[in-house]
Chains A and B, each alone.
Chain A
Amino acid sequence: MDRRNFIRLISRGLVTAALWPRLGQAADAKDKRPIQFTFAQIKYRGGDWNPHPLAVTPLMEELMLRTSVDAATARREVSHTDRDLFSYPFLYITGKYEFEPFSQDEIDVLRRFVSYGGFLLIDDALGQAGYGFDKAMRREMQRVLPGSEFKRLPSGHAALRSYYLMRRIGGVRMVNSFLEGINVGNSTPVVYCQNDLGGAWERDQLGKWTNPCTPGGEEQRRDAFHLGINLILYAMTENYKDDLIHVPFIRKRLTR
């Protein structure tokens, strides 16, 4: 190595060393800010409550990258009877198979949860209508909110425009091109997707996507991430995007 190259190498090293703490700080800055959102996932008996154990971190990273929300990268696992369940107004429940019916206490807790301001995202990881997780979940929700039924969310629903203006929803597979939800008053505290969103979010420890998305491929996966972000922001801002001040802008953008 000649003197010129040596000096060049040392200079780069010094610059890198000088910047390294700052780069670290920039990366850590968001980690040091207080956590505003924690992704809480429900554990239940029977079935398979955790089909995609590595799904949450990629979604949280995406959430923090794209929005002003500071989130915990790791999920919180909760059961219905956890004392601090209500510290997490956003709950996620997923699975593939039939599971044991919830106890009456668990039903009461879930009912209070969704009736007084909580949000529940239901994600069918199997995608078989009337079978397995879908069958069990619909049965249990009838017990949680008797007389209510899942209705298709209209394309203009606030959840589909809380951040991204969504024209499609994603997931591992396109079982439905729409979301379903249960309304309580003016809001929709229960949203159900049968397309396996968690499967689309999941990335293995090497950073590779665990499940291919069909038929839309990576665009479909991106829609799944967008939907996840939208649902989190919908849970945190409710029908904010239905406020009059937003309507003309949104209408204008959607007609382009």
Chain B
Amino acid sequence: MKDFYLIGNLPGWVIALAALGVVALLAQQFVSLKKRLAVGPSTFLVLLRTCVYSVLIFFLFGPAIVENRVAKLRPPLTVLIDTSESMAFPASPKPMPEGKPGKSRIDVVKEKLLDGKESLIHKLSREYDLRLYRLGTSLEPISPDSIGQLKATDQGSRILELLQVAAKDSPPQSALLIFSDGITNGDKKTLDGSPPLSIPVFAVDVGETEGFTDARIADLRAPEFAFRGREFKVDLTIQTSGLKGKTIPVYFNRGKNLITSRTINVDADLFEQKITLSFTPRDLGPHSFNVAIPNQPGEQITGNNQKEFKVDVRRDKVRVLTLSGSPAWNYRFLRMAMKQDPLIELVSFVFLRTPTDSVDVPENQLSLIPFPIDDIFLEELKNFDVVVFDDFSHRAYFNPVYLDRVRDFVRDGGGLAMFGGSRAFDAGGYADSSLKEVLPVELDGKGSYQTQAMLRPVLTASGKAHPVTRLLPDPKANEEAWNKMPPLTAFNRIRAARGETLLTAGDGSADNAPLLTVGRFGKGRTMALMSDEAWRWNFIAVGNRETPQNHLKLIRQAVRWLAQEPSFEQVQIHPIPLSRPGEKVAIKLRVLKDDFTPTAQASVQLRVMGPDGDPVIVSTTADTEEGEYTGDFTPTKDGSYRVEAEASLAGKALGKDKTSFSVAFPYGETDDGRPRPELLKKIAETSHGSFFSINDWNEKTFDQIEAKLESQAPSQIVERRQTRLWSTFWPFAFVLVLLGVEWWMRRTWGLI
């Protein structure tokens, strides 16, 4: 396209002055010519000269021809095809004839792009500078030839984030064409707060919402851990589509056992309800729970009808049961130590009266209560963590079956401690009881309770590192603390220690007899303190201006060790974070010897059980940090996995631990299959694009896109050329011709 412009830069008054000068010159020339020629020829010659001067004056304006060469390019267009897992869902909720599977959403897109005499993708490639991507958790460029092989396998769809990325990478006059079901599960789920897109988006919706039927557990919030005996709550959000008028049960299970159920009455096509379930755990350790909705008729997606979660049940307090044969100072200071410890919940019974004691008032004037022996030993024993027999003889009160229960309690993981006195150990008749095999001492019925001694506690090699007797972290300071402990004046002599002796009675007459021993029986732990005067380590220490804290610590640490508090375990699996399928998980654990120092020589067996329940043996290696071991495991499925570890050293078991961890895809792509055309419409509106349904796509759709792009993306000027007339041949030739004609006429008329 050519245009004429005046591009001179002389001021107007200069040109006007020049023009006036030219007029004066022409007038003078006319007057001069008229003297020699007739009016006609004079006028003709002046006219010729006028033309020449006019051309020259015209050139003062700087006339030029500007040529715009407009080359129309192919506009850029970016096509995004959603290949997330939700695109594998059926495109239509309508049932297919003869039970045939319906087309998936990705199949419908592929069909639209590839079918026909001239496929849509071919047309787009011809008319546009096309860039093609698959869209899921990221954008991946693909070629038109690979569209036929596309599969809906991406674990998530970050539509809103990736549209921003695509718009930023595209040239200004381009557009985006996206084929998607509108399900987005990136960090952004709505357009609120998002910056506007810089280029228009043509959104093509895939997947019909009419008739879409689904019930799902949209959201589940459960605590990671809970306390035994305390209720915890689980908050759920149930969402349904297309189930108006139905009554749907929701089941809350632990493993395969039903805990409770609720019923939901669906009163809308798009329905949502929040419910809260609760459970009070009784058993410690990790537990797997699930919440499930039965599959509803016509439901297309059933994988989102169930959600699993795990809760680690811990004890909030260590429950201790003490039985004391009589009121005693040992009981007072034992009670004081336990009551001051917020972790310990104490239930104690003190036998204030024996059957031989006589009473001088009616029973109702005494504060004595009947000892609930059946309740305690036949029903409630399992709810305690530790049982303490404090100078208590079973003879006067116990049926042997109660002691059998205590034995079973320890075997199943409970803790048992016996404190000495005139009613304990052999003196208490335990050599003939079922506790004989449980206690960490050997009883032969001949042991005795001795007084009038002065016994100092002496720490053994085992006692120096054992968590019960490790009162101070520094070994030397710990030993000094024990050396300063006040002497005892009474102790129970027993035949021998069976377990590990932590303290001996240091005195000539005591012959270093065991004073404090610990052991194991079945899954439980036991302790024997062969004196009823441990209270002296507290109160006499106060009298000596020493700290009573050592006695308090001894009691608390003994309780924790007996209750198998995790920090006192010799094998501990470190917490395992949430993982993804296909991602390697490093399972780390710590192993300590019996003296609670780390060991790199342990033999560790590690087992992982997946959602299918099949155990996998995982080999472990010792880390550079002594006592630490690692085993690598790669889960292949999502779900809950259980880990069990056992360690031994030189053939002797050190301990066990177990835990569980969850494996899940982070996006929850298949949780909600309902297409979201409303999101795609909003994206199109806010970006000044257009929205289409893939079922309504036809030839006009393509033209509409083209027209919109044309109006928003004008032709580009590729080249602009400017030519001054003064530099061209023809105006110059014209001036020469005029001058030539004038010369010829002058010559003809004899002026030259």
- Which of A147-155, A159-167, A208-216 touches B? A159-167
* A89 and B367 form a contact (CB under 8 A): no
* A164 and B367 form a contact (CB under 8 A): yes
* B365 and A165 form a contact (CB under 8 A): yes
CA distance A33 to B449 in the complex (A): 10
- Which of A14-22, A93-101, A111-119, A133-141 touches B? A111-119
What 17 new A-B contacts, CB under 8 Å, besides A66-B357, A240-B335? A36-B327, A37-B327, A67-B353, A68-B326, A68-B352, A162-B367, A163-B366, A164-B361, A165-B364, A165-B365, A222-B360, A236-B328, A237-B335, A237-B350, A243-B348, A249-B367, A250-B369
Judged by a CB distance under 8 angstroms, whether B540 is at the interface is: yes
* B335 and A238 form a contact (CB under 8 A): yes
Judged by a CB distance under 8 angstroms, whether A235 is at the interface is: yes
* A34 and B449 form a contact (CB under 8 A): yes
* Residues in chain A near residue B538, CB distance under 8 A: 116-117
CA distance A13 to B632 in the complex (A): 89
* Residues in chain A near residue B542, CB distance under 8 A: 86, 112-113, 116-117
* Residues in chain A near residue B365, CB distance under 8 A: 164-165, 253
A-B pairs with the 10 shortest C-beta distances?
A: A86-B543, A236-B327, A68-B326, A116-B542, A249-B369, A161-B367, A68-B354, A253-B364, A237-B327, A34-B422
* Residues in chain A near residue B357, CB distance under 8 A: 65-68
* A66 and B539 form a contact (CB under 8 A): no
Judged by a CB distance under 8 angstroms, whether A70 is at the interface is: yes
* B353 and A66 form a contact (CB under 8 A): yes
* Residues in chain B near residue A164, CB distance under 8 A: 361, 365-367
Of B327, B332, B347, B539, the contact of A69 (CB 8 Å cutoff) = B327
23 sampled A-B residue pairs with Cβ under 8 A = A34-B422, A37-B327, A65-B358, A66-B359, A67-B357, A68-B325, A68-B326, A68-B353, A69-B327, A87-B543, A89-B539, A116-B538, A116-B548, A163-B368, A235-B332, A236-B328, A237-B350, A238-B335, A238-B336, A241-B367, A246-B369, A253-B364, A256-B364
B370 nearest in chain A by CB position: A249
Minimal beta-carbon separation of A190 from chain B (angstroms): 16
Judged by a CB distance under 8 angstroms, whether B44 is at the interface is: no
Judged by a CB distance under 8 angstroms, whether A233 is at the interface is: yes
CA distance A45 to B543 in the complex (A): 21
Of A68, A86, A161, the contact of B539 (CB 8 Å cutoff) = A86
* Residues in chain B near residue A245, CB distance under 8 A: 347, 369
* A116 and B539 form a contact (CB under 8 A): yes
Judged by a CB distance under 8 angstroms, whether A85 is at the interface is: yes
CA distance A253 to B325 in the complex (A): 24
* Residues in chain B near residue A222, CB distance under 8 A: 360
Given known A-B contacts A67-B353, A70-B326, A237 and B367 have beta carbons under 8 A apart: no
Judged by a CB distance under 8 angstroms, whether B331 is at the interface is: yes
Chain A residues packing against B (C-beta within 8 Å): 33-34, 36-37, 65-70, 83, 85-87, 89, 109, 112-113, 116-118, 161-165, 186, 222, 226, 233, 235-238, 240-241, 243, 245-246, 249-250, 253, 256
Annotate B335-346 by CB proximity to A: 1 below 8 A, 0 otherwise. 110010000001
* Residues in chain B near residue A250, CB distance under 8 A: 367, 369
- Give residues of chain B (537-575) contacting chain A, Cβ–Cβ below 8 Å: 538-540, 542-545, 548
A35 nearest in chain B by CB position: B451
CA distance A54 to B118 in the complex (A): 123
* Residues in chain B near residue A162, CB distance under 8 A: 367
Of A66, A112, A241, the contact of B358 (CB 8 Å cutoff) = A66
Minimal beta-carbon separation of A224 from chain B (angstroms): 13
* Residues in chain A near residue B358, CB distance under 8 A: 65-66
CA distance A170 to B347 in the complex (A): 32
Interface size of B by CB at 8 A reads: 45
CA distance A165 to B333 in the complex (A): 24
A244 nearest in chain B by CB position: B347
Minimal beta-carbon separation of B381 from chain A (angstroms): 15
Of A33, A69, A116, A235, the contact of B422 (CB 8 Å cutoff) = A33
Annotate B586-629 by CB proximity to A: 1 below 8 A, 0 otherwise. 00000000000000000000000000000000000000000000
* Residues in chain A near residue B335, CB distance under 8 A: 237-238, 240
Of A68, A86, A226, A233, the contact of B540 (CB 8 Å cutoff) = A86
Judged by a CB distance under 8 angstroms, whether B490 is at the interface is: yes
* Residues in chain B near residue A66, CB distance under 8 A: 353, 357-360
* B369 and A233 form a contact (CB under 8 A): no
A222 nearest in chain B by CB position: B360
* A87 and B367 form a contact (CB under 8 A): no
Judged by a CB distance under 8 angstroms, whether B351 is at the interface is: yes
Judged by a CB distance under 8 angstroms, whether B225 is at the interface is: no
B449 nearest in chain A by CB position: A34
B359 nearest in chain A by CB position: A66
* B490 and A34 form a contact (CB under 8 A): yes
* Residues in chain A near residue B422, CB distance under 8 A: 33-34
* Residues in chain A near residue B540, CB distance under 8 A: 86-87
Of B327, B329, B451, B545, the contact of A67 (CB 8 Å cutoff) = B327
CA distance A165 to B536 in the complex (A): 31
* Residues in chain A near residue B536, CB distance under 8 A: 87
Minimal beta-carbon separation of A244 from chain B (angstroms): 9
Minimal beta-carbon separation of B352 from chain A (angstroms): 6
Of A83, A117, A163, A235, the contact of B367 (CB 8 Å cutoff) = A163
Minimal beta-carbon separation of A59 from chain B (angstroms): 14
Minimal beta-carbon separation of A207 from chain B (angstroms): 17
- Give residues of chain B (700-740) contacting chain A, Cβ–Cβ below 8 Å: none
* Residues in chain B near residue A238, CB distance under 8 A: 332, 335-336, 339
B363 nearest in chain A by CB position: A253
CA distance A253 to B362 in the complex (A): 11
* Residues in chain B near residue A233, CB distance under 8 A: 327, 352
CA distance A116 to B326 in the complex (A): 22
Given known A-B contacts A66-B353, A66-B357, A66-B359, A237 and B332 have beta carbons under 8 A apart: yes
* Residues in chain A near residue B333, CB distance under 8 A: 117
CA distance A245 to B349 in the complex (A): 9
Of B332, B347, B352, the contact of A163 (CB 8 Å cutoff) = B352
* A85 and B332 form a contact (CB under 8 A): no
* B352 and A85 form a contact (CB under 8 A): no
Minimal beta-carbon separation of B209 from chain A (angstroms): 59
CA distance A67 to B367 in the complex (A): 12
- Give residues of chain B (630-647) contacting chain A, Cβ–Cβ below 8 Å: none
B367 nearest in chain A by CB position: A161
* Residues in chain A near residue B535, CB distance under 8 A: 89
* B539 and A36 form a contact (CB under 8 A): no
* Residues in chain B near residue A113, CB distance under 8 A: 542-543
* Residues in chain B near residue A246, CB distance under 8 A: 367, 369
Most chain A CB within a 10 A radius of its CB, from B339, B365, B422, B451 = B365
CA distance A249 to B354 in the complex (A): 19
* B336 and A236 form a contact (CB under 8 A): no
Minimal beta-carbon separation of B327 from chain A (angstroms): 4
CA distance A118 to B421 in the complex (A): 21
* A117 and B366 form a contact (CB under 8 A): no
Minimal beta-carbon separation of A24 from chain B (angstroms): 16
* Residues in chain B near residue A109, CB distance under 8 A: 543
